[in-house]
Structure 1
Amino acid sequence: MDTISIKNLFKLRSVPIEPPTQQPSTIEVEPNEESTEESRKRTYHESGYRDSSRTSGNHSTLSICLDAVYSKFQNEEKEMVEKQKKLKESYVNEQKNKETEIKALTVSQETKEENLKAKNIEIENHQHTIEALKTEIIDLPRNPEKYNVKATRGASTKFWIGVILLVPITLYLLTFYISTSYSAFFKSFDAKSTVIQSVLDAQAFSKAWNEGVIEGAFVTLIPFVFLGLGFLIHMFGENKTKANYIKLGLLFVVTFVFDSILAYEIESKLYELNKTFDSLPFNLKIAFTKIQFWGIIFAGFIVYIIWGVVFDFVMKEHKEKDKIKSEQEIRQKTVLSLTEKINVLKKEIEGILANIGNTKELIIKTKGRIEELQNIIDGVIIPTKDYKLYASEYVQGWVTFIGEKIAVSRTEKQTMIDSCIETYNTNLEAVGANSDNQNLVYLSSL
């Protein structure tokens, strides 16, 4: 086997070297560098030939020699300062970029932490406000003036006292006007009827409905006329104007006149029942002299005025109570609004915490990458293709000696060569320069 054919076994393809993250700068080869490279290749080739001659081409010895070749290649690459500088240039640039990225991530993390702190303070302020509002809600009925609420303290108690008084007075007016209206317009008196029985008939309601729908509806609804008049007294009394005072006076006059009519009708029936041949015809002059006439008027009219006054008092107290209740509702709505804001802020805080965690993790990864790059920069970069080139020259020299000087059969010689090639490939695997990884840069920290 001639030298040319043996060399063809180790002819390498030119493959670009790609570092882990970015490709290092291409090394420009000057003319004098080419002659240096050829001289270096020849040196490795001659060393292989010489070492093979010393060991009779033993492939086991070749493995040890290749380890020595790799160590020699490392030392040579280490001494090539400019070449190492160019090979490491991309790693230096990447390290600078990563350091800039660290600064940006740190600023971003600090900004997020400030934002987080501000949102926590905002939540605390909202919580303090909520506690203060809840205290105000409880204390408002007792001390409304403390919170600039123009309402009478204890309005709720007065309101319920007025309601308790208003209920029986209302029932009294219903009973009185049902009885008096029935007695005045529909009832027939007899000689056995007393004054009280004539005015207040316990069965007035049922008797009126038994006599007809018109009669029943009249005695049922007429009390509400007086209650409506009483309500108008409250309404006109709210706005203290001259016109309302006139209207209020007219209401009292109308009510008094209507009560007088009821009393006159009842007294007229009683007078007719008890009159004699000497009795004069019943008229207003006679009515004014009758005690029961005035009793009927005041039993209705005076109580009606009392009802109107109590109703007006209850409504005013209810208004005072509504002021406090309204202020309580306003505060309660504010509490709900602040609670919703707190929930929103808590969700935002969760997002910020997640982002801070991601940023910290990214910072740790970036710092780890910077350390890796620093190790690369501090170490020696062994170009894979260069080592394969010179190692192949060394093995070519080794195999050339076997082909030229070893006196054995062709078959045995081929077996020796195959063993040497296998040892060569094993060495490439061991140093990370096999064919599968020839696009990687093998690093050695020395």
Structure 2
Amino acid sequence: MDTTSIKNLFKLKSVPIEPKIEQLPKTEQNTEEESPEESRKRTYHESGYRDSSRTNGNHSTLSICLDAVYSKFQNEEKEMVEKQQKLKESYVNEQKNRETEIKALTVSQETKEEQLRNKNKEIENHQNTIESLKAEILDLPRNPEKYNVKATKGASAKFWIGLILLIPITLYLATFYISTSYSAFFKSFDAKSTVIQSVLDANAWMKAWYDGFIEVAFVTLIPFVFLGLGFLIHMFGENKIRANYIKLGLLFIVTFVFDSILAYEIESKLYELNKTFDSPPFDLKIAFTKIQFWGIIFAGFIVYIIWGLVFDFVMKEHREKDKIKSEQEIRQKKVISLSEKINVLKKEIEEVIANIANTKELIIKTRGRIEELQNIIDGVIIPTKDYKLYASEYVQGWITFIGEKIAVSRTEKQTMIDDCIATYNTNLENVGANSDNQNLVYLSSL
């Protein structure tokens, strides 16, 4: 209640001074039935009037009296069990909710701690496996039989024989296809050329070089096409599936057709060189009757197949002789995979530890709040709006006595009233009741 409001409640008027100052105001004579609240307000009003009469309205004494009023109000509120229970109901409910929250947080913490133990155990298992794999990697070259690895030290004789055969066959294919491709597509034949000279030209590459870039590039690169086809024979043979067998068949067909084209072109040029007026036009029927036609095909196609099979054999022998390295690589890949899993687990453990720390912190805060709520429940809740109401009644009674019984000038009397109002406001500030928030309560543990 502000100063203006209290001043408006008590407008001074001249009244005759009664012979006995202890006489109570007429409100005490009221015999009408009152509600408990009205009766309580009247009691505080009368107490203020009576205490003011005993101290002649001294504002300094009012401060002490208001402290006593506040203590009395506290005791009265403490005795109102039902009212206290109602005021504390929200705190009791919050405490129950907090206790339920503690249980949930505890379960969550225990679950996270179990996860932490499992992840640490998993890391330990992975580390033990890594150590075992590393030991096997080191021991494999010395004791391959211990790990059921059938391997021999060094390369086998079959591997070296196959490799030695593969080199001249490769050179042969390069020479053959350089010569035949140049003879088939770029060379001009004359009557002096023999069949062998027409097919295998010793100077084919040099002639292609002088003929131009396209010619030399074509005859240089075409052997690699057939070598690539031979490599595919090995690759498709790695997996014994129907699709790969179909691909192998197509490779053989393509190679055979290409060799047939080379043989046909060369045989066609030779036929045109030697034909007479009675000779029919050259066609496939005539080509099939020529021995050199089939010779060209098989000189390339059969050797091509042989090269592919030898290459496949050499690669398989190499794989056989390198089983130890292969087994080491397999174990090394497992080590890398397990190391990556350990790194992932460590990151997960960091997250779990952070979550556990947050949960513990939240549990501590929640328990602190439960203790605060318990202190509130064990203490006395002082509704500030009620205290302000009854304290204002007390001060009204105090000021009423000043207005009615103190025989001083109007100015002095108004000064006394202003001092009392200031003391009242100071008291409200001290007890935390001078707030506009009607729901504010002042807590006191008595």
Q: TM-score, normalised by structure 2?
A: 0.59
Q: Which amino acid aligns with 1:401?
A: F
User: Which residue in the other structure is 1:44 paired with?
Assistant: 44
Whole-Å separation in 2 of the counterparts to 1:76 and 1:144: 94
Is residue 387 from structure 1 mapped to residue 390 from structure 2 by the alignment? no
Q: Which amino acid aligns with 1:405?
A: K
Cα deviation for residue 136 of structure 1 reads 1.5
Cα deviation for residue 67 of structure 1 reads 0.3
Mapping of residues 84-95 of structure 1, within 5 Å: 84-95=84-95
Whole-Å separation in 1 of the counterparts to 2:8 and 2:157: 115
- Please tell me whether the aligned partners of residues 69 and 391 of structure 1 are also in contact (alpha carbons under 8 angstroms): yes
User: Which residue in the other structure is 1:114 paired with?
Assistant: 114
Distance 1:160 1:128, change over 3 A: farther
Q: SS in structure 2 opposite 1:443?
A: strand
Whole-Å separation in 1 of the counterparts to 2:123 and 2:316: 41
Distance 1:347 1:67, change over 3 A: same
Cα deviation for residue 436 of structure 1 reads 4.4
User: Which residue in the other structure is 1:348 paired with?
Assistant: 348
CA deviation vs aligned residue, 1:180-218 (integer Å, no higher than 9, x gap): xxxxxxxxxxxxxxxxxxxxxxxxxxxxxxxxx955889
Structure 2: where are the runs of 5+ without partners? 11-32, 172-199, 206-226, 235-310
Cα deviation for residue 35 of structure 1 reads 1.4
Cα deviation for residue 314 of structure 1 reads 8.1
User: Which residue in the other structure is 1:329 paired with?
Assistant: 329
Whole-Å separation in 2 of the counterparts to 1:82 and 1:34: 21
Q: SS in structure 1 opposite 2:322?
A: helix
Q: Which amino acid aligns with 1:43?
A: T
- Please tell me whether the aligned partners of residues 74 and 380 of structure 1 are also in contact (alpha carbons under 8 angstroms): yes
User: Which residue in the other structure is 1:180 paired with?
Assistant: none
User: Which residue in the other structure is 1:71 paired with?
Assistant: 71
Structure 1: where are the runs of 5+ without partners? 11-32, 175-212, 219-227, 236-310
Mapping of residues 140-159 of structure 1, within 5 Å: 140-149=140-149, 151-154=150-153, 157-158=154-155
User: Which residue in the other structure is 1:275 paired with?
Assistant: none
CA deviation vs aligned residue, 1:114-134 (integer Å, no higher than 9, x gap): 011111111111111111111
CA deviation vs aligned residue, 1:258-302 (integer Å, no higher than 9, x gap): xxxxxxxxxxxxxxxxxxxxxxxxxxxxxxxxxxxxxxxxxxxxx
CA deviation vs aligned residue, 1:104-152 (integer Å, no higher than 9, x gap): 0000000011011111111111111111111122222222222222x22
Whole-Å separation in 2 of the counterparts to 1:38 and 1:338: 82
Q: Which amino acid aligns with 2:414?
A: Q
Q: SS in structure 1 opposite 2:35?
A: helix
CA deviation vs aligned residue, 1:232-282 (integer Å, no higher than 9, x gap): xxx9xxxxxxxxxxxxxxxxxxxxxxxxxxxxxxxxxxxxxxxxxxxxxxx
Cα deviation for residue 49 of structure 1 reads 0.4
Q: Which amino acid aligns with 1:410?
A: R
User: Which residue in the other structure is 2:128 paired with?
Assistant: 128
Whole-Å separation in 2 of the counterparts to 1:73 and 1:340: 71
Distance 1:43 1:146, change over 3 A: same
User: Which residue in the other structure is 1:56 paired with?
Assistant: 56
Whole-Å separation in 2 of the counterparts to 1:148 and 1:351: 42
- Please tell me whether the aligned partners of residues 109 and 360 of structure 1 are also in contact (alpha carbons under 8 angstroms): yes
Distance 1:163 1:393, change over 3 A: same
Distance 1:417 1:132, change over 3 A: same
Whole-Å separation in 1 of the counterparts to 2:315 and 2:341: 38
Whole-Å separation in 2 of the counterparts to 1:112 and 1:427: 53
CA deviation vs aligned residue, 1:47-104 (integer Å, no higher than 9, x gap): 1001111111111110000000001111111111111111111111111110000000
Mapping of residues 156-235 of structure 1, within 5 Å: 157-158=154-155, 214-215=201-202
CA RMSD of aligned residues (A): 4.2
Whole-Å separation in 2 of the counterparts to 1:324 and 1:217: 46
Whole-Å separation in 1 of the counterparts to 2:121 and 2:203: 72
Cα deviation for residue 377 of structure 1 reads 0.6
Q: SS in structure 2 opposite 1:442?
A: strand
